[in-house]
Amino acid sequence: MGVLGRFMVGITKLMPRFFVAGVARRYVAGKDIESAVAVMKKLSTEGACFTVDVLGEEISNLAEAQFFIDEYDRVLDAIIENKLDANLSIKPTAFGLLIDEQKAYENIERLLRNADEHDIFVRLDMEDNRVTQPTIDIVIAMHAKGLQNVGTVLQSRLFRTSSDIELICNQLGGGADFRICKGVYLEDSSISHTEYRPIVDAFNEHIDLILDHGAYAGIASHDWPIIEHSLAAIEARGMGPGDSDPREGSAGKRLGKGPGYEFQMLLGVRGNIRRRLAKAGHRTRIYIPYGERWYEYSMRRLDENPDVAMHITKSIFMPWTNRR
């Protein structure tokens, strides 16, 4: 992050909430599902598909989990009613994972079964290292129950991620489905890469590993070195827009998915690259966060995503560039 970006982050954090709300409007779809639906309908014209996230994560008691259970039911209804090309992203801790693991499994299984009735995929977001293994365990357990409409996120900054890819692919075969990202949770250097270049190098290695195992790759990055590597890796394996997935052991065509891969980006970040990829025929998915906890989400993005800082700068001084 440059000096100007750091300055803008510092200034923004000192501003009142109404000012931050104006900035966050680019990156958060609103406070309610109706706002999120409106954003998705607008961006659908650009050929994008979506994953919807209700903002919020770790809860303090199981009663709080009911809010997320009910809200995701509303999200499912909205996707179906509006015929949106969208799936769900959930945080397992919001369903009680750190309070009562068995209850969290029950809550997540209920959502998966409801989503499966309508062929809607559910992504388990990856949180900090306390729940890395429990999140992976949920995915494997749900597949064992016949629920294959679920996959996880893995973070390339963690040293363990290559082993996790191997483990999941060995367990699930072509049914393995990943969103691979750098990771927004800053972990200790004893368990993770902490510098940009090693994270990018690990990310690229993980893309190759996922593709070579026949798994589905949701490539979640705004970094051109990663996107460039991904495009070359896809082409090298005979994959690409309009082609069927030729990899041995892959699950083949999946409803709502690309031919073995897709590119994923945050709402409001590098829409120009996303549109370029979509124009070239690649499936592109936008992460759509909404909810009352927009402020906490925005502050975390400010801390951990340099792109956001620079987009804030541009949106203030060059508002004509503020296009999602």
Does residue 18 register a pLDDT over 80? no
| Confidence bin at 187 (pLDDT 50/70/90) | confident
CATH, domain 29-290, list 3.20.20.220, 1.10.10.350, 3.40.50.880, 3.10.105.10: 3.20.20.220
CB burial of 23-48 (b: ≥16 within 10 Å; e: otherwise) equals bbbbbbbbeebebbbebbeebbeebb
Residue 193, token pair as written in the block: 């890469």
Between CA 203 and CA 250 the distance in angstroms is 21
Does residue 206 register a pLDDT over 90? yes
Between CA 304 and CA 314 the distance in angstroms is 18
Residue 91's nearest CA partner among 259, 310, 300 is 300
pLDDT for residue 56: 78
CA distances, 186 to each of 127, 192, 300 (Å) = 10, 8, 11
Percent with pLDDT over 70 in the chain: 82
Does residue 125 register a pLDDT over 50? yes
Q: Are 75 and 33 spatial neighbours (Cβ–Cβ below 8 Å)?
A: yes
Lowest mean pLDDT among 1-10, 72-81, 101-110, 111-120: 1-10
Mean pLDDT value of segment 109-128: 96
More confident residue, 285 or 14: 285
pLDDT for residue 318: 52
Does residue 317 register a pLDDT over 90? no
| Confidence bin at 146 (pLDDT 50/70/90) | very high
User: Average pLDDT of the chain?
Assistant: 88
In the chain, CATH 3.20.20.220 sits at 29-290
pLDDT for residue 12: 59
Give the pLDDT confidence of 43-62 residue by residue, as tens digits: 999 999 999 999 977 788 99
pLDDT for residue 60: 87
pLDDT for residue 161: 98
Does residue 324 register a pLDDT over 70? no
Between CA 4 and CA 12 the distance in angstroms is 12
Q: Are 219 and 207 spatial neighbours (Cβ–Cβ below 8 Å)?
A: yes
Does residue 19 register a pLDDT over 60? no
pLDDT for residue 292: 79
Tell me the CA end-to-end span of the chain in Å, nearest whole number: 21
Mean pLDDT value of segment 190-208: 96
Residue 137, token pair as written in the block: 């365990």
| Confidence bin at 322 (pLDDT 50/70/90) | very low
Give the pLDDT confidence of 255-305 residue by residue, as tens digits: 889 999 999 999 988 889 999 999 999 999 999 999 876 666 666 656 655
Does residue 75 register a pLDDT over 60? yes
pLDDT for residue 186: 80
More confident residue, 265 or 28: 265
Side-chain-side CA neighbours of residue 20 (13 Å)? 19
Does residue 137 register a pLDDT over 50? yes
More confident residue, 97 or 314: 97
Q: Which amino acid is at 23?
A: V
Residue 82's nearest CA partner among 114, 122, 52 is 52
Q: Are 184 and 300 spatial neighbours (Cβ–Cβ below 8 Å)?
A: yes
Residue 257, token pair as written in the block: 């998915």
